[in-house]
Each structure stands twice: as C-alpha cells, then as structure tokens.
Chains A and B, each alone.
Chain A
Amino acid sequence: GQQVMQIPQYQHVQEGEDFTTYCNSSTTLSNIQWYKQRPGGHPVFLIQLVKSGEVKKQKRLTFQFGEAKKNSSLHITATQTTDVGTYFCAGRLETSGSRLTFGEGTQLTVNP
C-alpha cells in the first residue's frame, strides 16, 4: 500500500498567502525529493533532502526534512500565480534501492 502520505490533497490560496504541504512516510527514508508538476506537464525536480533535520531554501520555497527522516514539508511564502501546480514529495525508502515512492501530491491553486 501507499507508504508515503501527503496532505492536503488540495489547497486554494489568495495570491500573497503562504502555502505548506506535508509529507509523511511509514518508514525511514534515505532521502526525500520534491517535484512540481504544472497542469498538463510532467514532474520537474525541485530539491533533494538527505540529512536528518535538513532545511533548504530556494527563494520563497523552504524545504524541511524531519529529524527521524520520516516526514518533510514544503513551505511557499507569499504565493504567486506562477506557483500553481501539483507538488509531489517522493521518498527513497531505505529498502527500495533507487526507486522513488511518490506521495499523492498537493494541488495548489492561487487566486490573483
């Protein structure tokens, strides 16, 4: 069954509001990656987190990896209409080699 869970499934925000999506794994991850998929497009790699408690920033995006390496979050500050899309977390389980297990994704819509 699904081993990487992601919430919320949908998020509607007004432009300028913040947005956060959360990812939880039932098992320890060797690393976690985040992808963005625009409507009609394909997933595009955003970032990878490897270390316990790691925090990385990309402009308005902040990514965190939990201390137990079982959860992660993506936070967008002051959303813009260009942020629209579905954000997926994808974990590499310690027992699954190079295979990625994707979360269900969070579909973000931004009202101008």
Chain B
Amino acid sequence: GAVVSQHPSRVICKSGTSVKIECRSLDFQATTMFWYRQFPKQSLMLMATSNEGSKATYEQGVEKDKFLINHASLTLSTLTVTSAHPEDSSFYICSTRGRGLYGYTFGSGTRLTVV
C-alpha cells in the first residue's frame, strides 16, 4: 500500500526560528498533498493543499507567509513554519492519495513544540 514518510516526528525549537517538515511518498507519485494541523483532542484542520509544480492553495485564515509550502517534485512536499511562536505548537500531519486508492494515506505526523 501507499506509504508517506514524514520527518521529523518531533521537534522543539526556539521562538522566532523556522522549522521545516518533510513528507515523502515512498512508493507512488503524489501530485497533491494535504497539510493538516491537529490540536490535542481535536479534529484535523486542513491548512493547505499543495500541488506539484504550482502554488499551494491555503485555507481561509492560514497565513501563507508563515506556513510556506513547497511541492517541487511528485514525491516530496515540505511545510516550513517560519518565525515560530509558542501558539504554533501543534501536531502537523500530511496526507495524500495514491492513484487507484480510495482512502488517503497520512504521514506519521510532526509534533512541534515552540519554546
């Protein structure tokens, strides 16, 4: 089945620094990658949709300049949290769907803590 590798799984950074999260589709080509944010005991909130070779589409209320998304190849999408603040601490998770598959495959998630 489809596998999405997400790194890092956990990261602690200082306020004001930037953090890059990578999602790689290991055995298929992911033309579209969805990026979610999940707070403890809450649902997944879609932040943005990245498409290979084009600009990402951001959901309402998500700052484009703060959450930079790059989808330069069919197997790699990255989310960079710029100038991180403690309120950005959350669980970030990517998801995509392999061709011919019904369900969406999720990465293992990145728990970001900004101190």
- Give A residues with C-beta under 8 Å from B: 33, 35, 41-48, 88, 90, 98-105, 107
A45-B103, A45-B104 given; name 20 further pairs at CB < 8 Å: A33-B104, A41-B109, A42-B107, A42-B108, A43-B44, A43-B106, A45-B102, A46-B103, A48-B103, A88-B43, A90-B104, A100-B46, A100-B104, A101-B46, A102-B43, A103-B43, A104-B42, A104-B43, A105-B42, A107-B41
The size of the chain B interface, using a CB distance under 8 A, is 20
Q: Please, which residue of chain A has its CB at the minimum distance from the CB of B109?
A: A42
Q: Is the CB of A102 within 8 A of B105?
A: no
Give the chain A neighbours of B97 by CB distance below 8 A: 98
- Give B residues with C-beta under 8 Å from A: 32, 34, 41-46, 49, 93, 95, 97, 102-109
Q: Please, which residue of chain A has its CB at the minimum distance from the CB of B46?
A: A99
- Most chain-B Cβ atoms within 10 A of its Cβ — which of A44, A46, A88, A98? A98
Query: Can you list 9 residue pairs at the A/B interface with Cβ under 8 Å?
Result: A33-B102, A41-B108, A42-B106, A43-B106, A88-B43, A88-B44, A99-B49, A100-B46, A105-B42
CB distance from A112 to the nearest CB of B (A): 22
Chain A contact surface mostly? strand
CB distance from B58 to the nearest CB of A (A): 12
What separation, in Å, do the CA atoms of A45 and B2 have in the docked complex? 11
Give the chain B neighbours of A45 by CB distance below 8 A: 102-105
CB distance from A74 to the nearest CB of B (A): 14
Q: Is the CB of A42 within 8 A of B43?
A: no
Q: Please, which residue of chain B has its CB at the minimum distance from the CB of A43?
A: B106
Give the chain B neighbours of A104 by CB distance below 8 A: 42-43
Give the chain B neighbours of A101 by CB distance below 8 A: 46
What separation, in Å, do the CA atoms of A14 and B42 have in the docked complex? 24
Q: Please, which residue of chain B has its CB at the minimum distance from the CB of A31?
A: B102
What separation, in Å, do the CA atoms of A13 and B44 have in the docked complex? 25
Given the interface contacts A42-B108, A98-B32, A100-B34, does A105 sit within 8 Å of B103 by beta carbon?
Answer: no
Given the interface contacts A102-B44, A107-B41, does A44 sit within 8 Å of B102 by beta carbon?
Answer: no
CB distance from B36 to the nearest CB of A (A): 8
